[in-house]
Structure 1
Amino acid sequence: MRLASLLPLALAASFACAQMPEATTTVLQHARLIDGNGGTPMADATLVLRGRNIAAINPAKLPAGATIVDLSGKTVMPSIISDHSHLGQIQDGKGGAGLYTRENLLNQLAQWQAYGVDTIVSLGLNDPTVFYPMRAEAHTGTLPGADFFGADRGIGVPNGAPPTPAQPGPYRPATPEEARAAVREMVARHTDLIKVWVDDFHGTMPTKMSPAIYGAVIDEAHRYNVRVAAHVFYQADAKQLVRDGIDILAHGVRDTPVDDEFIALLKQHGTWYIATLDLDEATYLWAQHPAIMDTPFFQHAVSPGLAAHFTDPAWRDKVNGNTQTVEQSKAALAQNKANLKRLVDAGVNVGFGTDSGANTERIPGFAEHRELHLSVEAGLSPMQAITLATKNAAAEMKLTDRGIIAPGKRADLLVLDADPSQDIDNTQTIRAVWHNGKQVSGPVTSFEPR
């Protein structure tokens, strides 16, 4: 057998992909294994990778001719899946139109992957002319960076959410029939999901989407066996959406404590729920310069333009000076945490996402680790949080080939220097990321964002 160590730590993801030989079989030995199912980690585990998949765990005999990678002292877990992110909305600390380009998407997908997020769902605001060709490449494994799925352009309403300069932007139907026509156009392009923006963004938008519009969207999408995700804030909206057949609530309820009726509705309909705790925290946290901003794990997710944005005194004064918005965001985060804990305890289908990439403050890759941290602050155990971000996140998207470590599943793996079952922030001790059975990056300190 040939012996091999981890690839040199300074390799960038693209270099690793280009240089690593196409080994038929690789054996990862002596690792602590977190398989994504939520059980006790397995000590001194052996994984056999063949091609892009996991072939065996702890086999009686190692395959002849395999490349051996010694992971003594390391922890292996499934790579992270984000069920709610956005492509092409930000670039180097700026947002606006004209950012949905192949080059920008490649940079973003590389950043998610360097931070251990091997699959994302771009939940609306996608440019079909760029999105679909790149999605096809990603699914075949020929596109570097994270694999991705998406919700085409999505559907808002005139004078309503989302307030975005993105082009082509969402459809904005004024009637149920216009909404149905928008659905049919997206279905014809083979979208993975349909997205609707329902609420009024804390009362900042003059119009909310009416039940007549989103009811038509849900009905039409379901005619074609396509699921629908909704941007929500208020519990009353969320209840009506669930009654009308929504498949995914793409944000947590943040106005009131979730009640027994809502929990019963979610369980009755099998609706999936994504908290996106990081969303509200990110509106104010970086202007306060917490200690985490001085760590390499944060700094290597921040491009030069974004670093300048975060240190701009005018921006920081504006955010910190808007005390009403800061307090509103803190209250929403606290309510979101409490609701997440109650829903997980109640056995509701809970996925994982952050809204990363939607604006400059929601940082691709880093946001997912922050979401894990906030989930544990909410009262989840580290293993519960990891399960949301792996097994549950895959199940929400019906991705049966990933999300857990088991024979036959894709070898999308995180290798960590420390055990996140003991401290969730140990997901930040990334030693290597594997995608489709190959190591594609090392520590995040080897990654330079653009």
Structure 2
Amino acid sequence: MTIPAKRTSRRCLAGALLVAGLAASFGAAADSVALRHVRVIDGTGSASRENSTILIENERIAAVGPDAQVTLPEGARELDLSGRSVLPGLISNHSHLGMTDGTGAGAQNYNRGNIERQLRQFQRYGVTTVTSLGLNGPLFQRLRAEAHSGIGVGADLFGADRGIGVPEGAPPMNVAPEQLYRPATEEEARAAVREMAARKPDLIKIWVDDFNHTLSYKMKPEIYTAVIDESHAHGLRVAAHVYYLDDAKKLIAAGADILAHGVRDLPVDNELIEAIKATGAWYISTLDLDEAFYVFATQPEWTQTPFFRQALQPALAAQLDDPAWRRHTLADPKKLAIWEQGVKTNQANLKRLVEAGAKVGFGTDSGATPLRIPGFAEHRELQLAVDAGLTPLQAIALATGNAAALLGLDDRGVIAPGKRADLLVVAGDPSQTIADSQKIEAVWQQGREVSGPVVP
């Protein structure tokens, strides 16, 4: 790892010390390592803690507290991370794997090499746990088992098996038959759930809406009601792809456990908020989803930063730089207005739900299309959440502690004794300036330093 030359000489010296220490642990289990003099952002939403030490032993956090109060075992390696912030590894509750490669999308991309490439990119960008929320083929079970056992590559992996869509409707993706069910009857829907339940997915996914009036059919209420009922009978929760307020209300009433996208057609109202709270359902905004349709064509300054450019495959980078592609993307003012309004409505709804105390997780739909870029999208989601009116600490909590709770994982998502040492080391202070989450210097996963700076 190297520290960019443009940083000050004092920073370079500190960075060199950091690099030397981290390099010693690269690829090896950190039996006893102390991250010293750090700012801890613990993932609970609580204020950051300065001048702290995180002690890692055998893949877990053994202790965390003020520097003077954490006793180190004899022989512990100490890494001086003065000026750095440490937060939990980010957790995605809504992504997709093996759907895209370069500028293309389709079943041909669902292969081990491509999925492992994406898992490594998530990890490199500090996303240490990923939920592939549907459209998964048989390979998924093997990759998930490898990830859980520690022999896989990249981020840890959870997911929703194939998922259930609509005949001649959502999702409008080119996927193989073994990646999706499209039941036409209640019994077909129940049979699909039973088949998936036998493979022990983490969730069941359904696509309900018509993608903002771009498809001819929506899922019939009797179909999603049967899916939810059968899933619950097998102890499985259901995550629903939604767009409209009316569908969200009906799904929560039918027992859906997770609204996997934000409501974007109308402001959420008290009826939905109270229903979500009363049932304990979760809500995931995926703010980045609609923005990704158009924002790259407008070329904001951040699209030229190394942090963003490093996330692009060559073919995608060439497309984003193509003036003809940009003109075509922005050519329809009606579509552009719908996308822009969708982001604004989504942001306002997120803020209201957080303020109301609803359970809100974190996701972006990264990997579903080439423009929803694994790893980078999650940092953009943090920025959009803050732009919506959340504090940086609230946004980070959605992506760490809350996201772990949505998955029912009590072993990660916060920095506390006994938790997995899945950690993101960044320069600056993202608890004050959320963009500092992008100043990645190291990623730790299960007590191992697995990646260095995104920007060399």
Displacement after TM superposition at 1:22 (Å): 3.3
Deviation string, structure 1 residues 399-427 (Cα, Å, up to 9, x no partner): 11000000000000010101001111110
Q: Is the 8 A contact 2:64 2:70 kept in 1?
A: no
Q: Is the 8 A contact 1:8 1:442 kept in 2?
A: no
For the pair 1:136 / 2:148, whether they are aligned, the reply is no
Aligned residue type for 2:285: A
Q: Is the 8 A contact 2:28 2:448 kept in 1?
A: no
Query: Of 375, 385, 391, which residue of structure 1 is paired with 2:385?
Result: 375
Aligned to 1:331: 341
For the pair 1:25 / 2:32, whether they are aligned, the reply is yes
Aligned residue type for 2:151: T
Higher mean C-alpha displacement, 88-97 vs 287-296:
88-97
User: Partners in 1 of 2:20 and 2:292 — Cα distance?
Assistant: 33
Query: Of 388, 392, 406, which residue of structure 1 is paired with 2:398?
Result: 388
Q: Structure 1 residues 252, 52: CA separation in 2 closer, same or farther (over 3 Å shift)? A: same
Aligned to 2:162: 153
Displacement after TM superposition at 1:95 (Å): 1.3
Q: Is the 8 A contact 2:285 2:363 kept in 1?
A: yes
User: Partners in 2 of 1:180 and 1:63 — Cα distance?
Assistant: 55
Instruction: Give SS of 1:332's match.
Output: helix
Displacement after TM superposition at 1:9 (Å): 11
Q: Is the 8 A contact 1:9 1:443 kept in 2?
A: no
User: Partners in 2 of 1:93 and 1:424 — Cα distance?
Assistant: 29
Aligned residue type for 1:167: A
User: Partners in 2 of 1:134 and 1:90 — Cα distance?
Assistant: 17
User: Partners in 2 of 1:386 and 1:102 — Cα distance?
Assistant: 31
Q: Is the 8 A contact 1:106 1:144 kept in 2?
A: yes
For the pair 1:189 / 2:199, whether they are aligned, the reply is yes
Aligned residue type for 2:130: I
Question: Where do 1:103-142 residues align within 5 Å?
Answer: 103-128=113-138, 130-142=139-151
Instruction: Give SS of 1:177's match.
Output: helix
Deviation string, structure 1 residues 101-153 (Cα, Å, up to 9, x no partner): 1000110001001100000100011112x111010010011112000101111
Q: Is the 8 A contact 2:30 2:59 kept in 1?
A: no
User: Partners in 2 of 1:290 and 1:390 — Cα distance?
Assistant: 27
Displacement after TM superposition at 1:170 (Å): 1.5
Query: Of 373, 383, 391, which residue of structure 2 is paired with 1:363?
Result: 373
User: Partners in 2 of 1:143 and 1:114 — Cα distance?
Assistant: 14
Displacement after TM superposition at 1:94 (Å): 1.8
Q: Is the 8 A contact 1:253 1:336 kept in 2?
A: yes
Normalising by structure 2, report the TM-score.
0.94
Aligned to 2:13: none
For the pair 1:91 / 2:101, whether they are aligned, the reply is yes
Q: Is the 8 A contact 2:144 2:157 kept in 1?
A: yes
Q: Structure 1 residues 318, 60: CA separation in 2 closer, same or farther (over 3 Å shift)? A: closer
Normalising by structure 1, report the TM-score.
0.95
Instruction: Give SS of 2:61's match.
Output: strand
Q: Is the 8 A contact 1:89 1:359 kept in 2?
A: yes
* Number of equivalent positions: 437
User: Partners in 2 of 1:70 and 1:9 — Cα distance?
Assistant: 8
For the pair 1:264 / 2:271, whether they are aligned, the reply is no
Question: Where do 1:307-346 residues align within 5 Å?
Answer: 307-346=317-356
Instruction: Give SS of 1:69's match.
Output: strand
Displacement after TM superposition at 1:303 (Å): 1.0
User: Partners in 2 of 1:364 and 1:83 — Cα distance?
Assistant: 13
Query: Of 430, 451, 454, which residue of structure 2 is paired with 1:444?
Result: 454
User: Partners in 2 of 1:310 and 1:418 — Cα distance?
Assistant: 29
Query: Of 179, 182, 186, which residue of structure 1 is paired with 2:189?
Result: 179
Instruction: Give SS of 1:77's match.
Output: strand
For the pair 1:163 / 2:172, whether they are aligned, the reply is yes
Instruction: Give SS of 1:360's match.
Output: coil
Q: Is the 8 A contact 1:120 1:146 kept in 2?
A: yes
Aligned residue type for 2:287: L
Deviation string, structure 1 residues 255-312 (Cα, Å, up to 9, x no partner): 1111111111001100100000000000000111111111011010011011012122
Deviation string, structure 1 residues 302-327 (Cα, Å, up to 9, x no partner): 11011012122332221110211111
Which structure 2 segments of 5+ residues have no match? 1-15
User: Partners in 1 of 2:28 and 2:116 — Cα distance?
Assistant: 23
Q: Is the 8 A contact 1:94 1:305 kept in 2?
A: no
Query: Of 432, 435, 441, which residue of structure 2 is paired with 1:422?
Result: 432
Aligned to 2:260: 250
Displacement after TM superposition at 1:8 (Å): 5.9
Question: Where do 1:228-307 residues align within 5 Å?
Answer: 228-307=238-317
Instruction: Give SS of 1:364's match.
Output: coil
Aligned residue type for 1:329: W
**Percent identity of equivalent pairs:** 56
Query: Of 81, 98, 118, which residue of structure 1 is paired with 2:91?
Result: 81
Aligned to 2:225: 215
Query: Of 40, 53, 65, which residue of structure 2 is paired with 1:46?
Result: 53
Q: Is the 8 A contact 2:292 2:371 kept in 1?
A: yes
Q: Is the 8 A contact 1:161 1:197 kept in 2?
A: yes
Q: Which runs of 4+ in 1 moved over 3 A?
A: 4-11, 19-23
For the pair 1:56 / 2:68, whether they are aligned, the reply is no
User: Partners in 1 of 2:319 and 2:205 — Cα distance?
Assistant: 30
Which structure 1 segments of 5+ residues have no match? none
User: Partners in 2 of 1:123 and 1:333 — Cα distance?
Assistant: 21
User: Partners in 1 of 2:298 and 2:20 — Cα distance?
Assistant: 36
Aligned residue type for 1:50: E
